[in-house]
Amino acid sequence: MPPVLLDSTDQRLLQALQQDARTTMAELAQQVSLSPSPCWRRVRQLEETGVIEGYHAHLSRQKLGYGVTGFVHLQMDNHMPEIMAAFEREVVALPQVLSCHNLSGRYDYLIEAIAPDLEAFSQLVRVKIRSLPGVKEISTSFSLKEVKRGGILPVA
């Protein structure tokens, strides 16, 4: 699917919404030099075309009790489409898993997961992730310090 073509106003709208999605339509319109009605129509069009996928609150992992962020590299022993699909369905259902990427290279998947502490993370990996369909090998590492957390996409 080709990318959606964005003019400079759309780009400014997206930048502003990524900075603060709670801004009012009137404030947003003022920031991008539009009146509220055309601003609302543009935002609506960006939502309908799927450029804006949703609006989310950015939560503190620490304040919610998640002191450990870990990364799990997985190698699969079976690459049959039905096994891979079953694995993906089950990993998506794990609430501790923040992201999962199918990779090129030595490992087939990379999972980013959180847990309150090392014991809980160990349980997640040993009991739940290891038992997912097709898992052959696991390599785990932990975040010592978060330098940058996903957020604002460049839209220029």
In this prediction, residue 13 carries a pLDDT of 97
Topology of domain 68-142 in CATH is Alpha-Beta Plaits (3.30.70)
Query: For every one of its 156 residues, what pLDDT tens digit does the chain have, with 9 covering 90 and above?
Result: 788 999 999 999 999 999 999 999 999 999 999 999 999 999 999 999 999 999 988 899 999 999 999 999 999 998 999 999 999 999 999 999 999 999 999 999 999 999 999 999 999 999 999 999 999 999 999 999 999 887 788 987
Topology of domain 8-48 in CATH is Arc Repressor Mutant, subunit A (1.10.10)
Q: Assess contact for 137 and 74: CB atoms under 8 A.
A: yes
In this prediction, residue 8 carries a pLDDT of 95
What is the side-by-side strand order in the sheet with 135-142?
97-102, 109-115, 68-76, 135-142
pTM (whole model) above 0.85: yes
Domain boundaries, the chain: 8-48, 68-142
Q: Which of 105, 52, 44 is nearest to 76 (CA)?
A: 105
Give dist(CA 69, CA 51) in Å, integer.
29
Give dist(CA 12, CA 104) in Å, integer.
34
